[in-house]
Amino acid sequence: MKNLFQIWLNEYYIIFSDIGSLLIFFGAIIIYPFFYPLPYTNEVLKNVPVAVVDMNQSQLSRQLTRMLDSNQLINVTTKALAFDQAKTSLIKGGINGIIYIPETFEKRILRGEQAIISVYSDASSFLIYKQVLSGIYHATGTFSAGIEIKRMLARGNMQEQALSARAPISLLPVPLFNAVGGYATYVVPAVLVLMLQQTLLIGIGLLAGTRREKGRGKDISSQSVSIVSLVLGKAFAYFSIYMVHVVYLFGILFRFYHFPQRGNPLDLILFIIPYLFASIFLAQAISGFFKNREISMVILLFTSIPAVFLSGFSWPKSSMPDWLNHLALLLPSTVGIDGFLRINQMGSSLKDVGFNWGILLGLTAVYFMLAVISIEKQYNRP
């Protein structure tokens, strides 16, 4: 017990006396959360440029154009006189959508016929496509409703009836958990959870590589200490540092960014504990592969982006092959990101994410054993 405590303290000394490990265990944790969200700080994409090709040039077509322009998602930046001109601009990327109003537009509406406008939208990027279409549908819907109410009123219907006669069934969409559809709110929490795992893997790998490089036996931990104490003592040092990070990131920084925090804090802590331990033991288990100080970063850096996608947060797991989903469970981040988002952003209870939690506990146990084997080998002990 005393040994374990010594190793624990000694590990702090090792971490704090190495500028390389400080940069990973502290520098990254401080810089990333401020740098990474920068592209997303506006949260919602607005004012996507579109062109209106108005062949009608009537009062009604100009009214529709004004309504399109005043929609916050899109911005009518070009009023082209010919479709080809607008299309060239679309291909060149100056605009992302075209609304074509035909010559007969006003005439048809005044006659009580249906006028058809054509919309050409750039679908090469999902978000742009979505914003352009919802902007146009919303503006056109408002315009249509105005026309229809006028018609009904002209026929002497009561206004209320006129309104309700518009659609036999209406749909009310109620987005839950990220009501405004903010992009930072969507991406950043997931990435920060991943960052905890990745910095642990790289940082612990760096320390192991450094120790090998410098030659063994210099630190006290290699003498007369049980392997379990050695593994746990080191692990507690990392764990305690990361619990401070957890409080900083999810307790303070999330408030700063106004990210939702719907979960029960106790559930969140209980979920994060095995996430951190599983990551730490995994890091210790693989740290034997790193024979130099820099190798862990060289090899592990690329894993971040695939790991985010494997967690299923942007692409549903049900659309990936089962074998890949099963294999991905070996990474703590796969169930870790998913479970964290469900608890913190959606307000699920620990019981609701019981599967995720169970996997993390299982990984903690398995990786602990592997860590013992790996550390035993690294410290060259029977």
Residue ranges in 127-156 that form contacts with another protein under rule CB under 8 A: 127-130, 133, 136-137, 140, 143-144, 147-148, 151
Distance from C-alpha of 172 to C-alpha of 210, rounded to nearest angstrom: 59
What is the rounded distance in angstroms from the CA atom of residue 307 to the CA atom of residue 221? 33
Q: At what angle do helices 183-214 and 227-246 cross, to 10 degrees?
A: 150
Closest CB 226 distance from another protein, rounded Å: 32
Q: 3-state class of 81 per DSSP? A: coil
In the list 1, 154, 174, 266, the residue contacting another protein (rule: CB under 8 A) is 174
Looking at 4, 283, 310, 360, which residue binds another protein (CB under 8 A)? 310
Instruction: Give the separation between CA 109 and CA 66, rounded to whole angstroms.
Output: 17
> Counting contacts by CB under 8 A, is residue 83 touching another protein?
no
Q: Does 16 bind another protein (CB under 8 A)?
A: no
Asked if 318 is part of the footprint of another protein (rule: CB under 8 A), the reply reads: yes
- The answer to whether 306 contacts another protein (rule: CB under 8 A) is yes
In whole angstroms, give the CA distance from residue 310 to residue 312: 5
Question: Which segment (228-236, 243-251, 339-347, 371-379) binds another protein by CB under 8 A?
Answer: 339-347
Should residue 297 be labelled a site residue for another protein when binding is judged by CB under 8 A? yes
Q: Which residues ranging from 102 to 131 are in contact with another protein (CB under 8 A)?
A: 109, 112-130
Number of residues that bind another protein (CB under 8 A): 108
Task: Decide whether 331 or 371 has the Cβ nearer to another protein.
Answer: 331
Q: How far is the CB of 45 from another protein (least distance, A)?
A: 4
Nearest distance from residue 379's CB to another protein, in Å?
22
Q: By CB neighbour count within 10 A (0-12 exposed, 13-18 middle, 19+ buried), where does 339 fall?
A: buried
Which residue, among 84, 120, 124, 113, has the nearest Cα to 99 in the 3D structure? 120
Region 186-245 residues binding another protein, contact defined as CB under 8 A? 186-187, 206
In 118-151, which positions are buried (b, 16+ CB within 10 angstroms) versus exposed (e)? eebbbeeeeebbbbbbebbebbbeebeeebebee
Is the separation of the CB atoms in 331 and 310 below 8 Å?
yes
Residue span binding another protein (CB under 8 A) among the ranges 2-10, 183-191, 274-282, 366-374: 183-191
Please tell me whether residue 69 binds another protein under the rule CB under 8 A.
Answer: no
